[in-house]
Amino acid sequence: FLGQETIRSTFRSLWLIATVLIVFGLILGAADRFGRSEKKIDQLNARDAILYGLAQSLALIPGVSRSGATIAMGRIMGYDRVTALRYSFLLALPAVFASGFFELSKAVNEATPTGGYSLVETGIATVVAFVVGYLMIAWLLKFVSTKSFMPFVVYRVFLGSLVLFLLSQGMINA
């Protein structure tokens, strides 16, 4: 697809990824801090859906969190924290299910006595991942109903800064 080679090569630089971690962490922090928190999910319109989609497409750039970009866009557009988070997760469902079915078909086709995973193993892993994911989403929705996204902002800025420091000291290679 368009730009695929650039994303796979140029955008894989650790310098760029670390910088993007910091920049998008700060964008999320500013959007959360200054977002109006006026809108609920029933106020979502076509314009907002398109803007959410554009934000989601930014995740093609390594270091941009898909959920972070869509949550920030939601907050910028005036959606409250829980609504922005909930819609971000709803946006992920088609991709997650498509990926899951793709991996399931690979598991079925590649399962052999000498390697690969059986359908039962894949099924168990899928159920466990679903339960853990569901519990984490429930916890996160409760968390952001009373708190800000600041812990995630701090995490992104710290991680990006750490990677930049390690790169600048030659401790890791770009």
Reported confidence tier of residue 114, pLDDT bands at 50, 70, 90: low
Mean pLDDT of 137-146: 94
Whole-model pTM?
Answer: 0.82
Q: How many CB atoms lie within 10 A of CB 53?
A: 12
pLDDT of residue 7: 67
Examine residue 28 and state whether it is found in any structural domain, yes or no.
Answer: yes
Q: Domain limits at 142?
A: 4-168
For residues 81 and 119, what is the distance between their CA atoms, to the nearest angstrom? 38
Reported confidence tier of residue 140, pLDDT bands at 50, 70, 90: very high
Examine residue 173 and state whether it is found in any structural domain, yes or no.
Answer: no
Examine residue 149 and state whether it is found in any structural domain, yes or no.
Answer: yes
Number of domains in the chain: 1
pLDDT of residue 92: 86
pLDDT of residue 64: 95
- Phi and psi for 128 in degrees, rounded to 5? -60, -45
Examine residue 19 and state whether it is found in any structural domain, yes or no.
Answer: yes
Asked whether residue 14 carries a pLDDT value surpassing 80, the answer given is yes
pLDDT in tens, 91-103: 888 877 787 778 7
Examine residue 18 and state whether it is found in any structural domain, yes or no.
Answer: yes
